[in-house]
Amino acid sequence: MRCRPATANAGHPDGAILQPMLTRTECEALDAADPLASSREAFVLPAGRLYLDGNSLGPMPLAARERVQAVLEQEWSQSLIAGWNVHGWMSLPERLGASLAPLVGAAPAEVMVADTTTVNLFKLVAGWMSSPAVQASGRRKVVTELGNFPTDLYVLQGIEQLLGPRVELVAVPREQVLQAVDADTALLVLTHVHYKTAEMYDLAGVTAAAHAAGAAVLWDLSHSVGAVPLALGAARADLAVGCTYKYLNGGPGAPAFVYVREDLQAQLPAVIAGWLGHAAPFAFDDAYVPAAGVGRFRAGTPAILSMTALDGALEVFAGVDLQQVRAKSQAMADLFIALVEERCAAFGLQLITPRNAAARGSHVSFTHPEGYAVMQALIARDVVGDFRAPDAMRFGFTPLHTRFVDVWAAVEHLHAVLANEEWRRPEFQARQAVT
């Protein structure tokens, strides 16, 4: 593969100039100079596999395995129920929140780990819409984006049903989101980085615009946290939720997080008013009194084994500079886009991710009419991305464990799959449950 001049794409409609083509040797040189290169050693990565799906399920950090083994062999088995006290299991949700806080630009007491993103969305949106302040304001609208991640839309639809006349859901196309926030809007619910296209909102700008209209904002950070530096506090963002099994590598089904800005915590009711969100759970009172801080959004007993895996996974981020992560992610995705468009131009792929690196998260999606089968054929070659209906192939760029040479090799495999029409093989047509 040969270089082409950077100006070759100057006439592109988006006005972007793609980075010049690189050879494999040049990619190896980029890896040799990469300040994040050694972080790859923190993960267990199956030999020979090009894993470009860390945006969907991060690989296993060695520290996650070690921590879980220690809890199994030294804590649960030996301490039994005393573990809740002697090993600090009960405070693990808050301690994990404090470890996660710098990754979202929040104060330690504003973040807590619990349940799933889906459940946490319900807690915060239903809580906000039933809060005394929103009730007094008379505002009823919750605005969101059509094409948002399905669970976000479904939870909002469920809350509209549950709270009846007090909530009206307004779901509009992306371009109309800010216009839809009006004097009757209580809450804007957006996903910061779109799961399919990787389009990224200006978190601070959108938050400020919603605030100017008197509305609060809830950000779903599932596809951002661990990949994009975030500054919830500086933006005065109100509420947020997000996943820990994607870029944070917390393990399959790892518990999610909630963020509630400190000054809002006391006025937000815990709609899932569980015993462990009570101010004094072990008083066993009949009447519910919420815990003072973000702890009220804890519902039931924390999943210690899953949280332990996340605890180990977050160790990997301890000393990592997120600006370096972001810069490498942008460089890898730029390289991928340029190589795919050069090598695979003849095969009907369509880029649906912003070409402008500043306007996207950390994955790149191309559509293809046979996208599912093409991805299956790639996976058969040990190049793992994923597929999102109806036709998007997603490739995630995870700077802590992906190398430039992996990006280069993945495009060579994609070219081979398309040029040889390997995707036509019948075994690549049958849909599996998880795509």
Ligand X SMILES: *Cc1c(COP(=O)(O)O)cnc(C)c1O
What residues act catalytically? Answer: 149, 220, 245-246, 394
Among 89, 149, 247, 387, binds ligand X (CB under 6 A): 149
Is the CB of 140 or the CB of 223 nearer to ligand X?
223
CA–CA dist 254, 96 (Å, integer): 12
Among 118, 130, 324, 367, binds ligand X (CB under 6 A): 118
Among 151, 209, 274, 413, binds ligand X (CB under 6 A): 151
Is the CB of 191 or the CB of 362 nearer to ligand X?
191
Binding region for ligand X (CB under 6 A) out of 149-157, 226-234, 273-281, 350-358: 149-157
Instruction: Tokens 């009907």: give the residue.
Output: 348
| Burial zone of 124 (CB within 10 Å; 0-12 exposed, 13-18 middle, 19+ buried) | buried
List, as one string, the DSSP characters of 238-273: -EEEE-SSSTT---TT--EEEEE-GGGGGGS--SS-
Is the CB of 120 or the CB of 308 nearer to ligand X?
120
CA–CA dist 422, 399 (Å, integer): 29
Pull the structure tokens for residue 335. 């390289």
- List the Cα angle 410/413/418 in 5-degree steps: 125
Is the CB of 9 or the CB of 56 nearer to ligand X?
56
Is the CB of 214 or the CB of 253 nearer to ligand X?
253
Mention every residue, 6+ apart, whose C-beta is less than 8 A from residue 286. none
Count of positions on this chain that bind ligand X (CB under 6 A): 13
Binding region for ligand X (CB under 6 A) out of 181-189, 220-228, 313-321, 395-403: 220-228
* Cross-strand partners of 240: 219, 259
Among 87, 123, 140, 223, binds ligand X (CB under 6 A): 223
The C-alpha torsion from 73 through 77 and 82 to 85, rounded to 10°, is 30
Site membership for ligand X, residue 191 (CB under 6 A): yes
* Shortest reach from residue 197's CB to ligand X, in Å: 12
Spell out a b/e string for 102-121, using b for 16 or more CB atoms within 10 Å of the CB, else e: bbbbbbebbbbbbbbbbbbb
Among 117, 144, 249, 265, binds ligand X (CB under 6 A): 117
Residue 231 near residue 101, CB atoms below 8 Å: no
Site membership for ligand X, residue 247 (CB under 6 A): no
Among 222, 224, 306, 365, binds ligand X (CB under 6 A): 222
Among 75, 145, 220, 422, binds ligand X (CB under 6 A): 220
Helix pair 322-343, 404-419: axis angle to 10 deg = 30
Calculate the alpha carbon distances from 201 to 6, 106, 404 in Å. 27, 18, 26
* Shortest reach from residue 226's CB to ligand X, in Å: 13
Residue 319, SS3 per DSSP: coil
| Burial zone of 212 (CB within 10 Å; 0-12 exposed, 13-18 middle, 19+ buried) | exposed
Is the CB of 223 or the CB of 278 nearer to ligand X?
223
Site membership for ligand X, residue 189 (CB under 6 A): no
* Shortest reach from residue 342's CB to ligand X, in Å: 30
Helices (H), 51-166: 62-70, 77-79, 83-86, 92-104, 117-129, 132-137, 150-163
Site membership for ligand X, residue 152 (CB under 6 A): yes
CA–CA dist 258, 108 (Å, integer): 12
Site for ligand X in 336-365 (CB under 6 A): none
* Shortest reach from residue 103's CB to ligand X, in Å: 16
* Shortest reach from residue 104's CB to ligand X, in Å: 15
* Shortest reach from residue 171's CB to ligand X, in Å: 15
Site membership for ligand X, residue 256 (CB under 6 A): yes
* Shortest reach from residue 218's CB to ligand X, in Å: 11
CA–CA dist 243, 238 (Å, integer): 18
The binding track of 67-106 with respect to ligand X, each residue x by CB under 6 A or -, is ----------------------------------------
Mention every residue, 6+ apart, whose C-beta is less than 8 A from residue 388. 195, 196, 365, 394, 435
* Shortest reach from residue 120's CB to ligand X, in Å: 8
Site membership for ligand X, residue 243 (CB under 6 A): yes
Site membership for ligand X, residue 330 (CB under 6 A): no
Which residues of this protein are in contact with ligand X, per CB under 6 A? Answer: 116-118, 149, 151-152, 191, 195, 220, 222-223, 243, 256
